[in-house]
Homo-oligomer: A and B are copies of this chain.
Amino acid sequence: MAEPELTNHGSETPVEPGDPSDNDARETHFHLGAGEVEAIIDALESGRDQEVRQLVAPLHFADAADLVERLSTEQRRELLETASDILDPDFFTELDVTVREEVVEIVGLDAVAEVIAELETDDAIGIVEELDDHDQRQVLDAIPAADRALIEEGLAYPEYSAGRMMQRDVMTVPQFWSVGETIDFMRDIAEQDEWSLPDAFYDIIVVDPRHVPVGTIALSVLLRHKRPTPVRDIMHERMKLIPASMDQEDVAFLFRQRDLVSAPVVRDDGRLVGVITIDDVVDVIDEEAEDDILRLGGVKEDDLYSATLDTTKSRFSWLFLNLLTAILASLVIGMFQGEIEQVVALAVLMPIVASMGGNAGTQTLTVAVRALATKELTANNAMRQIWKELLVGGINGVVFAVVMGVVAWLWFSSPLLGVVIGLAMIANLIVAGLAGATIPIALERAGVDPAVSSSVFLTTVTDVVGFLVFLGLGGWLLM
């Protein structure tokens, strides 16, 4: 039964199942290897244009985007001048926003318009929305009227809304059709309009005469039923409808919570306007997680590809805010100059209390920010969590008070200094637990993104309390 040609099919697949343990080989199959990029850079820099084109031609659009991202600005320009005509237009959609701006500048708006005309609506909108107003107008004017209308409709929805994420091409059927009619209809469309490209869809939406969705049918369900079965008998009526104005974060939450693969998007009057599919949602999930990680780290946005000066500027404001809190902490220390002059050990040990408070508070804060993002921390359990964090801070405070108390005692041969740092440690870790839990909750209630600003408030609290309690107690007990 073994047909030799089948083996060929098998070995054409991009992953070699034979060597899953060979990490390097596997990597190369999954995405662009460092070696391949080196080869292309080498060909680029030696001006071997034909070789560049040969190397770039077989790349999947996702790999092509990776390649362009990894090049330096000059190399990017050269590559696009040499080979932009052979890149799959979809590579545009996979580019980082900063890199895409650069690419738009290099290839020009006419080329961008050509690319956009070839993309699906949601991808096209994703690119057009990032252009400035003037460029947007110019690109829209250069594409066919039908595409333009769809894109402009999409742009009319608020940024980060379901309306911007959705695909406009939807497979709908009236509820009085049968399974057989539905399948025949799809075959007819496919024949008439050469609609044979893999426009991925997973559900058929059953609509009433006003185009209001009344149910959905997964393709895998449709295929299990006999031709005469009416679609209304097999449709899923308790589907989730997504208002076009819903925030993308809520859309992602819903998809995740309900394990959805696609969902109909409706206007305010209930009529169907599009469909959101899981691949768009995965992008949003990625973005949201990335935003949280970056904001907690004090970075506004992924600036890996930004120019040095842009990165410097964007990071400045966060550092400036932190400078102010650091100066505030210094003012607290300044109140105790007399004490420090007399007991210099206070100056030596004081950063320890503040730093432990900052770290303990950051642990609590991270858990709280994450739990708020996933809607696990709610009004129902907020008080319980705050109380728990207070306890955790208290217990660890006592443990570290003993450890650090003994260290300080031995180091400076002063048991009383050990008592001072121990008490300060307990106080600051309790405060850290309390602040780490309450600050994000309070910010969220106030409508401020807790990932952005929690940590600067937290550090202020733990620094000020840390220095104040330690130096205050030190002045009182040691002098």
Residues of B within 8 A of A48 (CB): none
Size of interface on A: residues with Cβ below 8 Å to B: 164
Contact assessment for A278 and B270 in the assembled complex, using a CB-CB cutoff below 8 Å? no
> CB-nearest residue of chain B relative to A260?
B279
Secondary structure type dominating chain A contacts:
helix
Give the interface segment out of A104-112, A146-154, A390-398.
A390-398
Task: Tell me if A136 is interfacial: C-beta within 8 Å of chain B.
Answer: no
- Kindly provide the distance from the CB of A294 to the nearest chain B CB, expressed in whole angstroms: 6
Contact assessment for B6 and A214 in the assembled complex, using a CB-CB cutoff below 8 Å? yes
Docked complex: A25-45 residues within 8 A CB-CB of B: 26, 30-31, 34, 37-38, 41
- Kindly provide the distance from the CB of A160 to the nearest chain B CB, expressed in whole angstroms: 14
Residues of B within 8 A of A319 (CB): 356, 359-360, 363, 396, 400
Residues of B within 8 A of A15 (CB): 240-243
- One digit per residue, 1 when the CB lies within 8 angstroms of any chain B CB and 0 when it does not, for chain A 274-306 equals 000011011001100110111011110011100
| A367 touches which of B37, B289, B303 (Cβ 8 Å) | B303
Contact assessment for B269 and A278 in the assembled complex, using a CB-CB cutoff below 8 Å? no
| A256 touches which of B34, B282, B348 (Cβ 8 Å) | B282
Given contacts A210-B2, A312-B392, contact A363 B17 (CB under 8 A): no
Contact assessment for A187 and B223 in the assembled complex, using a CB-CB cutoff below 8 Å? yes
Task: Give the docked Cα–Cα distance between A329 and B349 (Å).
Answer: 9
Pairs of residues from A and B, 3 with the lowest C-beta to C-beta distance, nearest first: A297-B366, A289-B289, A20-B243
Given contacts A186-B224, A237-B9, A297-B296, contact A355 B380 (CB under 8 A): no
Task: Give the docked Cα–Cα distance between A38 and B379 (Å).
Answer: 10
> CB-nearest residue of chain B relative to A354?
B351
Task: Give the docked Cα–Cα distance between A298 and B381 (Å).
Answer: 23
| A299 touches which of B215, B363, B381 (Cβ 8 Å) | B363
> CB-nearest residue of chain B relative to A339?
B344
| A196 touches which of B224, B244, B268 (Cβ 8 Å) | B224
| A323 touches which of B209, B356, B379 (Cβ 8 Å) | B356
Task: Tell me if A46 is interfacial: C-beta within 8 Å of chain B.
Answer: no
| A326 touches which of B38, B352, B369 (Cβ 8 Å) | B352
Give the interface segment out of A49-57, A79-87, A126-134, A199-207.
A199-207
